Amino acid sequence: MYTNVAVRSVTLLLTCTLLSDAADWCYNRSSSDTCDDWGDHYPKCKGKSQSPINIDTHSTKVNRSLDNFMFEGYDEILSDVQMVNNGHTVQVLLNGKNLSVNGGGLDGEYIADQFHLHWGNRTAPGSEHQLNHAQLPMELHIVHHKASYGDLNDSLSKPDGLAVLGFWIDVGKQNTNFDQIVDKLHTIPNKEERANISNFKMADLLPSNCELQNYYRYHGSLTTPTCNEVVIWTMFETKIHLSQQQINTFSTAVMAEGDINLINIFRSVQPLNSRTVQHSQAQSLLLKKTIALLSYTHTHTHARTHARTHARTSYANKRTSL
């Protein structure tokens, strides 16, 4: 997950690093990379509650307080929204757009600051969180800060300062709701270049409300330096789908520096340690209903098969006695 400190200006732009004096960092993806271990410069990156993680769905625990989310402003049409290539990802700035969430087991209101994406390359996936040790093609993160803490900067020092809504992205049909974002990638190939996107709703980018009842929850960190362990993570079970061509555009149209493609922008999964991944009650009920349906189908299929077999046997016995 990528986030940053708000720069106090008229537009409250979000820059590409968390701290203005932070040292450069990058993703280690090959032996030719010269990136240092993040922990050498950012001690928090060696913490015990780091993100991302692998989510083992068979080891999650139900939490009945994880109710439905309430989204404010997500159905509103947004205009003049900035999308920036910050050299680490493509980020869409939502600050000042009056988007927020509450419910979902969160303690209070959280205000949206930005969303961004993680991807791999044309031949390899690039989601940050893994699902049962499987990496998906992409991942979308919507970053919110807790309203009662004032702003994003102040929230970075609180254990529940940020709430990030995460969505796995898988291959499917062309998603026209993402067309504007994908098309604009060609206009911001270089670091620090910006484009405006307009006339879209955040809700249109996401699964429907009824599909947002099933999700996983754990406490973790930023997935980029400075790796602050201040994030309440939500990973939704229902995936967003983009076409393969749309997915490929992210790794071919956007550059990191010069003519180097921005690819493989994800952190490796981190140890879960003593943490427990929870899941919503709706997810638990869905699983129980599925199991019950399978059990019902199996039982009644077996009963019908037994009845037919018994009937055929009785009929055969009668014919034999004749």
CATH no. for residue 282? 3.10.200.10
Host domain of residue 237: 38-286
Residue 203 lies in a domain: yes
Residue 269 lies in a domain: yes
Q: What is the number of domains present in the chain?
A: 1
Residue 306 has pLDDT above 80, yes or no: no
Residue 220 has pLDDT above 50, yes or no: yes
Residue 135 has pLDDT above 50, yes or no: yes
User: Is position 306 annotated as part of the catalytic site?
Assistant: no
Which range, of 3-12, 30-39, 140-149, 258-267, averages the lowest pLDDT?
3-12
- Looking at the chain, how many residues does it have? 322
| DSSP symbols for 257-292 | ETTEE-----PPP---TT---EEEHHHHHHHHHHHH
Residue 62 lies in a domain: yes
pLDDT tens digits along 31-42? 455 576 899 899
Which regions of 177-321 does DSSP assign to beta strands (E)? 194-197, 215-220, 231-242, 255-257, 260-261, 278-280
CA dihedral 185, 191, 193, 198 (to 10 degrees): 40
Does the CA dihedral 172-238-220-287 come out positive or negative?
A: negative
Per annotation, catalytic residue among 58, 88, 133, 145: 88
Residue 10 has pLDDT above 60, yes or no: no
Q: Is-cis flag, bond preceding 43, omega within 30? A: no
Residue 3 pLDDT class (50, 70, 90 cuts): very low
What confidence score (pLDDT) does residue 7 get? 34
d(CA 172, CA 136): 12
What confidence score (pLDDT) does residue 35 get? 73
d(CA 39, CA 43): 5
Residue 53 has pLDDT above 60, yes or no: yes
Residue 263 lies in a domain: yes
- Interval 111-124 mean pLDDT: 97
Average pLDDT in the chain = 86
Residue 305 lies in a domain: no
pLDDT tens digits along 119-129? 999 999 999 99
Which two structure tokens, joined as six digits, stand for 184?
């604009």
pLDDT tens digits along 69-80? 999 999 999 999
pLDDT tens digits along 19-32? 433 557 888 655 45
Residue 13 lies in a domain: no
Residue 20 lies in a domain: no
Residue 11 has pLDDT above 50, yes or no: no
pLDDT tens digits along 225-276? 999 999 999 999 999 999 999 999 999 999 987 788 999 999 999 999 999 9
